[in-house]
Structure 1
Amino acid sequence: MAKLVVMLRVKDGMFFVKEWLDCFEKLADEIVVLDNGSTDGTYEALKAHPMVVDIIRTEGYNEGRDKNLMYEHARMRKPDWCLWLDIDEIFEPGLTRAHFDKLMSSKMINKFAFRRFHFIDREHFAGSWYRLNYSSGHDRIMWREHPDGHFQNLIIDSPNVKGIKGLKRGTNFRLKHLGYINKELVDKKAEIYRAIIPEKEDIFQSMYLQGEKAIKWEDDRNSLKVIMLNNLLSTIQLTHIVPKVFRRIKKMI
């Protein structure tokens, strides 16, 4: 059976620690953590969990540095597959390790991507056209480990792994992004971003989900409503993929 190592970079995430661990202790083989200077008990809570096999600490905000250091430590655990997520991101409750084992048994696919829904509160996610378009992009990835894998060396906004070649497949596995439900945490994140990129105030304001259409979340991933939404998001994604394919073909001929 393939070995899945989950990576977590975190600072002051105590608000989400329990439910994050409840989720990933059922899915991961091992968890590697990089703590960027927590003072709220996050470090201690994660270190005490038996599935956290390695936890390292850094100071000063630098995403690229931290994620590459975290990845180096994850590689020491000899993973077959890797997954990086934030502390405020958990998978829908219906997913089990068996679902992930089925993905990781593939001989052809090197990257599996997951949809991420941005929650307004515990029961509703943001349903504006802009946010659904964002969700359709499958912006979190599980990848087959390869020496070329790395994160961009950027102080801020170094999201997904780079350098993993081969086929990528989008899935209907849903991630619940809960970070926006706590205004105090959003304020703290906005202040960190302002200190680094003060010219991008529009990005900070978008964190607050003002005026968003609220859609009720359903845990039953096989319900008609969820299936219809997944079909809609697949259609939205195709509107982005098809033009890109034609542009690449045009360059080749």
Structure 2
Amino acid sequence: MPKDNKKVSALIITYNEIGYIEKCVESVEFADEIIVVDSYSTDGTYEYLKAHPKVRVIQHPFSNFTQQKSFALDQASNDWVLFLDADEVVSQKLQYEIVETIESNPEDVAFWFYRKFMFENSPLHFSGWQTDKNYRLFRKSKARFSDKKIVHETLVVQGTSGILKNKLTHYCYKSFEDYKSKMLKYGRLKAKEDFYRENRYNVLSLIFKPAWKFFNHYIIRLGILDGRKGITICYLNALGDLERYRELKKLEKKNELAYYLVMP
């Protein structure tokens, strides 16, 4: 596909996303190409994508989120890129806004999207997510993913940024076990990030940071107003922080053990 400054490539990374990916792909069919990088799914995700007439799917081993997204970015044929998570959906109003924004030849080279979080099939209004926003639309030639983070990757932008009006729908919570698994995975990846940065484990972080996360999201950021949904999300987010520091402790112990084993 030739490069065109008005064309857009939709990019998604996946691993076992059946139940999410179908809505996501359907919502980006307006894009000029859809590229999905799959890290060897075992639940039928790859087969679904392989059979989809508008999708080019590439299997690539997963190391961390930053590396996987950087690999996907390299596959895009167009300068404008719409980068989504597999559990995000672009509404029709947002589709129109994206197209109109690109066709207007904006001076901004990247755009923030606010997100509407869905708990199963109903919106989550508070619980710390009400001000959440992420870069999702940007020019490939003017942005890259920072190699300093391996989870909740950071986009480094060369130029000015804008914000789109319509929100991206984020189906963050399919079931308790599914969301718990995500939070534990993110916690372990953050621990690796801390370890590589030489951020040391201490017991106070293990005790107080998960407690603060819960209090901040449930009380200060009004998760209490989300009822049962709020307490569930706030608890699982705090659990992710707890796993982060438990894992960091394990990594440091393994490192110390390896050091003593190689000592003469």
- Structure 1 position 166 matched with structure 2 position 165: no
Larger radius of gyration: 2
Structure 2, unmatched stretches of 5+, are 192-200, 228-264
Who is 1:144 aligned against?
Answer: 139
What do the CA deviations read for 1:92-132 (whole angstroms, capped 9, x no partner)? 24333x4322101224121122111222231222324x322
1:190 aligns with 2:183: yes
**Pairing 1:77-226 to 2, within 5 Å after superposition:** 77=77, 79-96=78-95, 98-105=96-103, 106-128=105-127, 130-132=128-130, 134-135=131-132, 138-146=133-141, 149-154=143-148, 156-162=150-156, 164-197=157-190, 202=210, 211-214=223-226
Asked if 2 retains the 8 angstrom alpha-carbon contact of 1:88 and 1:178, the reply is: yes
Cα distance in 2 for residues equivalent to 1:212 and 1:177: 20
For normalisation by structure 2, the TM-score amounts to 0.66
Which residues of structure 1 form unaligned runs of 5+?
216-253
- The 5 A counterparts of 1:222-237 are none
Aligned with residue 14 of structure 1, among 14, 18, 21? 18
User: C-alpha separation between the residues in 2 aligned to 1:32 and 1:24?
Assistant: 11
Which of 46, 49, 53 does residue 52 from structure 2 map onto?
49
Cα deviation 1:15-51 (Å, max 9, x = unaligned): 11221122111x3111111112311011111122122
- Normalised TM-score (structure 1): 0.69
Structure 2 counterpart of 1:114, one-letter code: F
Q: 2:155 aligns to what SS in structure 1?
A: coil
Name the one with the larger helix percent. Answer: 2
* Greater relative contact order structure (CA < 8 Å, 6+ sep): 1
Kindly indicate whether the alpha-carbon contact (under 8 Å) linking 2:24 and 2:86 is maintained by their aligned counterparts in 1: yes
Q: Secondary structure at the match of 1:114?
A: strand
Displacement after TM superposition at 1:89 (Å): 0.8
Deviations 1:110-164 (A, max 9, x none): 1122111222231222324x322x33xx323311231x532122563243432x3
Q: Percent identity?
A: 24
Contact 1:120 / 1:214 at 8 angstroms: preserved in 2? no
Q: Number of matched residues?
A: 200
* Two-structure CA RMSD over aligned residues (Å): 2.7
Distance 2:188 2:54 in 1: 35
Q: Distance in 2 between matches of 1:51 and 1:154?
A: 34
In the aligned structure 1, how far is the partner of 2:155 from the partner of 2:53? 26
